Amino acid sequence: MNKLKIRFLAIVFFTLGFINLVKAQCAGNDASVVVCEKDADDTNRNFALFPRLGGSPTAGGTWSTTNPENFYALNQSTGIVDLWRINNYGTHSFVYTNIDCNETATVTITLGGYPGEDNIDGSANACGDDPSVNLHGFLGSNVDGKVQDFNGLWEEDPSTFTGQLEDNIFNAQMAGPGIYNFTYTVPDVDSCLERTSTVILEVHPPPNAGNAIGITFCADDDLSAYTAFDLSDQLVGEDPNGTWTENGTNQLSDLNDSVINIQEMYDNFGYADFTFIYTVFPSHPVCEKRETEISISILPVLHGTINADDICSGQDYVIDLVYDDTLLHNGDFLIQYTIDGVIGDSPATLADGNGNFIVDPGLVPLNQEVTLEIIGITSVTPPRAVCDRAVVSPTTFLVTSSDVSAEDVCVENDNTIQIIQILDTDGNLANGNFTTNYSLTNPDGGTITSDDFELEFTNGAATFIIPGSNFSEGGNYRIQPTISDIYVTSCPIADTFIVTPLPDAISLDLLVDNNCDATQIDVLVNAPILQDGTYTITYDVTELGSNTVLTTNTINFTGGTAAYQIDVDALPIGNYTANVRSIQDDTTPCRLDFEFEESENFSRGGVPEAPTADANQTFCLSDFDGTPTLMDINVTAAGDILFYDTETDNTILPISTQLVDGEDFYVTNSDPLTNCEGTERVQITVIFSNPDAPTTTDSNPLFCAETNPTLANITVNVIAGSSVSWFSALSGGTALDDATILVDGQTYFAATNSGGCTSTERLEITPTVITVAPTAISSDVLSVCGLDDPTVIALRALENETENEVFWFITETGGTALTDDIPLVPDTTYYAENYNSVTGCSSATRVPITIDFSDCDPENYDFFIPDGFSPNADGKNDTYFIPNIETIFPNFTLEILNRYGTTLFKGDITNPAWDGRKGSSTAPNGVYFYIINYNKGNSEPIQGRLYLNR
């Protein structure tokens, strides 16, 4: 590029930069100004911002502020700001924007504070019931628009400090009446000095009309005591010298009158709400007057009676109410009531002294007398207060659910009648027998009444049956039972039911010309005509045993009569069955059976073989509860067995016929399939067997319980070759084993058993089993001194028997009794046994006794502790031990220590002697020490020294 081009570009860039510089200065430069005591010069209300800009701003721009509190103080077009409308000291910024150069400049004004003017001339007043007195309201000036700054500091003067000031709000209510001094300070701002103003506030006492105590009466209250009722007594904390007004009762003669006649008010106006107003005026107009209303209410009240007839279950539970309508208005109410203490409520419309309401069925148990009581009433329409008590006597009623039900049945069928929830005369569910009858109304309207009968009720329910003979024709019937001596109600107990006639059934028949040797069978059918179905009839012949069908045929038709013949002459010899079956598919009501069958057994040339049986049969009578019968005779035969009295008799004996000793009976048999009877009869002779009962010479034998006697120990006599069988009863009972233990006073029964047959008569035996009680011992421990060499005689001191002798043993059972001179042995248990010399019986159990051999007084046995020993293996004093200590003090412990306190030996009854050694080493000659713990009674431990000298 040449120099000319460079110079030209430089000129262009310079020119553009100059133009931009001029354009950037069109908003001017930022500027700051300090204004103190703005309130002193009213020209500050038109403070021009534009001249304050630095540089060379051009007009035509707009002004703005980011502080919303200054928004209305600024004219955005002219840049004139009213400094008196800026009520916060401090820094305030205003921005000038010129869109020509899209630049801004800011004028920052630092304002000194204005605290307002003093208010100390008594014009600052507040009421003592005001909790939020705004102290700013008492500053400012008389010059319009000159208002103090709001961001200064309020403070209480220490001389009247209350602590009830928060920012600019003073709680006069908490501070109370009085005069209070406050200062309001705006602090130094830049070069502007702090300024202060003073407010003297007088808080005036508010008027107090007091708190009212309302009073409420019921219309039936006795108001005679309230003929001179002073309303002032119903106020608490009120100022005196107030005035009284009222709403038209004419009870107050003037503004000072406060006495009224409540009885007269009720007489004149009835039940109503009355209001009396107590007014107190303030001592200063800054407070408002106060009023308190005293309400005197005379409430309507429910006075009446309720009645509830017994109610039938399923109906509304309606309760009739009759009341005094001079005490209660007409309207819609909510009745509160209790059923046996359970609360409920119900709407009711009451008018002119009458009304009713319906109680909740869910609160009323069935078949139980309950008590209904009205406990309250609420007026719904019109909505007004009603006395919370209801003067209505309780009543009782009962909801019965007694009922009877009958089934729909077919003719000639019994009908089961169910009666439920029947109450007795006390209102309880009936239990026991009650005289009952019933009336039954037939379809033709005729009525029959049954005879009285006793019907048993359980928890109010009973069932009886009307015989089917009462339902000979179809139609509608009605049953109504009558039960005597039950709780009488108006609720009907009746039910209706339908009796449906039975349809005719098909008739089938088989006629066999000869059951024992048949040649032809006639099949006969007689079937009612079906309107909605058909019959399927099948007849056949079947061989018994193999069930092979030899001939068959099936016919379908809707009814009528028919006859068919079956030729059986060609059948081989044997037993057969002829069958005819009918199945129908109609839906005729009351039809119970849809399938019918007839069968007939017959034979071709067959008679059963004769039975076999022993000619003489013996029966042991004790094997039977009564006399044996024909059923008990042993016969082997094919088919059914038949008994006759004689060989030629034609009367078959019942199988229950009793047998007779020595009598003859004749038996034959018949084929159960064909009823063909055999031609031969077998004779049987009956023989009865019954051994003689046992005998005895002692039916009350005596035994000792300790020997555990059994039935085998009882002596009875039976015939030779027989044995004895024992039983628990004179007849029947349980068979008893010979090893059965005898029980004192219990009776046993013996029978003779001969050849397996037991006698029917039994011998009664009642044994006496003597039980000797275990001996009574005064203690289970005998304390003796083993040094006295005690013997068994010492045990006698424990005996406490007067009727029995006591023997002593060293075994719990068995063994030989000890004599008194036998020495007692340590670590041995001795047993005491009672012996009754009169009966020779002893106690079955023995009482154990243990021996304490340590009951020794040391002083009586020269007890001493040796002071030395010589363990030199010469057989004399080789060990250190304390004579007799293991007997006198069996729980003792012995400890040997050397002079350094080291334990060398510990001994007790199992290791009583020290051999002068410590482990594997030998203790040297010298003095040693012992410690003995006797561990018995009050004997204190003892310690001492001993000398070891080898």
Alpha-helix runs per DSSP H in 865-916: 885-888
522 in helix, strand or coil? Answer: strand
The CA distances from residue 571 to 158, 563, 577, in Å, are 146, 21, 12
Q: Which tokens sit at 536?
A: 């399927």
> What is the predicted pLDDT for the residue at 58?
93
Mean pLDDT, residues 815-840 taken together: 92
Q: CA–CA separation, 666 vs 670, rounded Å?
A: 14
> What is the predicted pLDDT for the residue at 573?
84
Alpha-helix runs per DSSP H in 29-157: none
Are both 23-111 and 859-948 of the same fold? yes
- DSSP letter for each residue of 707-718: G--BGGGS--B-
Beta-sheet pairing, 165-166 with 169-170: antiparallel
Q: Beta strands of 205-256 (E only): which ranges?
A: 211-212, 215-218, 229-230, 235-236, 243-246
Residues 145-170: pLDDT tens digits? 899 999 999 999 999 999 999 999 99
- Average predicted confidence (pLDDT) for the chain: 90
How many CA atoms, within 13 angstroms, populate the side-chain half-sphere of residue 187? 6
Nearest by Cα to 887 from 931, 857, 849: 857
| H or E segment to which residue 17 belongs | helix 3-24
Q: Would you say 491 and 400 are in contact if contact means Cβ atoms under 8 Å apart? A: yes
Q: CA–CA separation, 56 vs 76, rounded Å?
A: 20
Q: Would you say 702 and 688 are in contact if contact means Cβ atoms under 8 Å apart? A: no
3-state secondary structure 487-553: CCCCCCCCEEEEEECCCCCCEEEEEECCCCECCEEEEEEEECCCCCCCEEEEEEEEECCCCEEEEEE
- Cα dihedral value 722, 723, 728, 733, nearest 10: -50
Q: Which of 592-596, 815-819, 823-827, 842-846 has the lowest mean pLDDT?
A: 592-596
Q: Which of 46-50, 135-139, 601-605, 782-786 has the lowest mean pLDDT?
A: 601-605
Length of the chain, in residues: 950
How many CA atoms, within 13 angstroms, populate the side-chain half-sphere of residue 158? 0
Q: Which tokens sit at 342?
A: 């359970």
> What is the predicted pLDDT for the residue at 25?
66
Residue 736 pLDDT exceeds 90: yes
Cis status of the peptide bond prior to 382, with omega within 30 of 0: yes
Mean pLDDT, residues 815-820 taken together: 92
Q: Which tokens sit at 947?
A: 């000398």
Q: CA–CA separation, 463 vs 416, rounded Å?
A: 7
Residues 645-670: pLDDT tens digits? 999 998 999 999 999 999 999 999 98
Alpha-helix runs per DSSP H in 513-647: none
φ and ψ at residue 253, rounded to 5 degrees? -85, -30
Domain 23-111 classification at class level:
mainly beta
Q: CA–CA separation, 26 vs 218, rounded Å?
A: 91
Q: Which fold has domain 859-948?
A: Immunoglobulin-like (2.60.40)
Q: Which of 600-614, 693-707, 824-838 has the lowest mean pLDDT?
A: 600-614
Say which residue the tokens 């019907």 belong to. 455
Rg (CA), the chain: 66
Residue 865 pLDDT exceeds 70: yes
Say which residue the tokens 């209070």 belong to. 180
Q: In what side-by-side order are the strands of the sheet with 462-466?
A: 403-406, 415-420, 462-466
The CA distances from residue 717 to 214, 622, 692, 722, 747, in Å, are 111, 19, 11, 10, 17
Q: Which tokens sit at 215?
A: 């009073």
Q: Would you say 86 and 70 are in contact if contact means Cβ atoms under 8 Å apart? A: yes
861 in helix, strand or coil? Answer: helix
Highest mean pLDDT among 306-320, 498-512, 821-835: 821-835
3-state secondary structure 163-192: CCEECCEECHHHHCCEEEEEEEEECCECCE
- Cα dihedral value 737, 741, 745, 751, nearest 10: 20
Residue 8 pLDDT exceeds 70: no
Residue 23 pLDDT exceeds 50: no
> What is the predicted pLDDT for the residue at 309?
79
Q: CA–CA separation, 246 vs 275, rounded Å?
A: 6
Question: What is the b/e burial string over 381-416, where b = at least 16 CB atoms within 10 angstroms of the residue's CB?
Answer: eeebebbeebbbeebebbbbbbbbebeebbeebebe
Instruction: Give the CATH number of domain 303-399.
Output: 2.60.40.10
Mean pLDDT, residues 274-288 taken together: 95
Q: Which fold has domain 402-500?
A: Immunoglobulin-like (2.60.40)
Q: How many CB atoms lie within 10 A of CB 189?
A: 20
Q: Which of 310-319, 355-364, 495-504, 912-921 has the lowest mean pLDDT?
A: 310-319
Q: CA–CA separation, 62 vs 535, rounded Å?
A: 118
729 in helix, strand or coil? Answer: coil
Q: Give the list of residues 6+ apart from residue 24 with CB closer than 8 angstroms, or none.
A: 101, 103
Q: How confident is the model at residue 496 (pLDDT cuts 50, 70, 90)?
A: very high
> What is the predicted pLDDT for the residue at 799?
87
Q: Which tokens sit at 638?
A: 């094919």
Question: What is the b/e burial string over 130-152, where b = at least 16 CB atoms within 10 angstroms of the residue's CB?
Answer: beebebbebbbeeeeebbbbeeb
Residue 15 pLDDT exceeds 60: no
Q: How many CB atoms lie within 10 A of CB 253?
A: 9
Residue 10 pLDDT exceeds 60: no
Q: CA–CA separation, 256 vs 245, rounded Å?
A: 9
Residue 17 pLDDT exceeds 50: no
> What is the predicted pLDDT for the residue at 600?
86
Residue 878 pLDDT exceeds 80: yes
Q: Which fold has domain 507-604?
A: Immunoglobulin-like (2.60.40)
Q: CA–CA separation, 206 vs 127, rounded Å?
A: 6
- The domain limits of the chain are 23-111, 125-204, 211-298, 303-399, 402-500, 507-604, 616-689, 702-770, 781-852, 859-948
Q: How confident is the model at residue 21 (pLDDT cuts 50, 70, 90)?
A: very low
Distance of alpha carbon 144 from its chain centroid, rounded?
A: 83
Angle, vertex CA 74, rays to CA 68 and CA 77, nearest 5: 125
Residue 679 pLDDT exceeds 60: yes
Residues 742-800: pLDDT tens digits? 999 999 999 999 888 999 899 999 999 999 989 988 888 998 998 889 999 999 988 88
Taking domain 211-298, whether its CATH number is 2.60.40 is answered by yes
Partners of 441 in the beta sheet? Answer: 447, 478
> What is the predicted pLDDT for the residue at 515?
79
Q: How confident is the model at residue 483 (pLDDT cuts 50, 70, 90)?
A: very high
Q: How confident is the model at residue 625 (pLDDT cuts 50, 70, 90)?
A: confident
Nearest by Cα to 170 from 133, 144, 142: 133
Which pTM value belongs to this model? Answer: 0.43
Q: CA–CA separation, 910 vs 827, rounded Å?
A: 14
Q: Which of 138-147, 251-260, 453-462, 828-837 has the lowest mean pLDDT?
A: 138-147
Q: Which tokens sit at 453?
A: 């009968």
Q: CA–CA separation, 943 vs 903, rounded Å?
A: 14
Question: Helix, strand, coil proportions of the chain in percent (round to 5)?
Answer: 10, 45, 45
